[in-house]
């Protein structure tokens, strides 16, 4: 879509964890911070009803908490079984300390 959604400040969004689930226009989105860059992908796993942002996040890989499938948060690519479908990735932009996301 054309709309950039203002999500909040990085300081508020990311505390101890470098990942965070938010809802944008009714869509659950997972935000993942990799070396200071924030990436956004669909938070609901492409394999089942699990929220990726609840999983283990390491480097640029998020592990689904349900069956441990791995996604690359930078592009949404499904990396390991049982995943067969990539997650949708969304555009992000940071102005000052404020994060904006544009849904794909
Ligand atoms: Fe995510 Fe099965 S629900 S790997």
Give residue-wise pLDDT tens across range 28-83. Answer: 999 999 999 999 999 999 999 999 999 999 999 999 999 999 999 999 999 999 99
Q: Report the CATH number at residue 30.
A: 2.102.10.10
| Spatial CB neighbours of 16, under 8 Å, sequence gap ≥ 6 | none
Q: Please determine, for the modelled complex, whether the ipTM score is greater than 0.95.
A: yes
Number of domains making up the chain: 1
64: Cβ below 6 Å to ligand 1?
yes
With a CB cutoff of 8 Å and minimum separation 6, the contacts of 100 are 4, 5, 6, 7, 92, 93, 94
For 80-86, the CB contacts below 8 A with 24+ separation are: 82/47, 83/45, 83/46, 83/47, 84/46, 84/47, 85/46, 85/47, 86/46
Take atom 3 of ligand 1 and give the residue whose Cα is closest: 48
Report how far ligand 1's centroid is from the alpha carbon of 32 (Å).
18
pTM: 0.95
Cβ(45) – ligand 1 distance below 6 Å: yes
The finding on whether 73 has its CB within 6 A of some atom of ligand 1 is no
Domain of 19 in residue numbering reads as 4-102
Could you give the maximum distance between any two Cα atoms of the chain, in Å? Answer: 39
How close is the Cα of 85 to the center of ligand 1, in Å? 11
């Amino acid at each position: 879509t054309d709309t950039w959604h203002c999500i909040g400040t990085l300081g508020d969004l990311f505390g101890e964890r470098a990942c965070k689930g938010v809802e944008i226009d009714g869509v659950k989105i997972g935000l993942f911070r990799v070396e200071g860059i924030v990436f956004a992908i669909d938070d609901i796993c492409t394999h089942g009803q699990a929220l990726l942002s609840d999983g283990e996040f390491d480097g640029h890989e998020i592990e689904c908490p349900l069956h441990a499938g791995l996604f690359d948060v930078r592009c949404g690519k499904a990396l390991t079984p049982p995943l067969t479908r990539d997650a949708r990735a969304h555009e992000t932009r940071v102005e000052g300390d404020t994060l904006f996301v544009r849904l794909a």
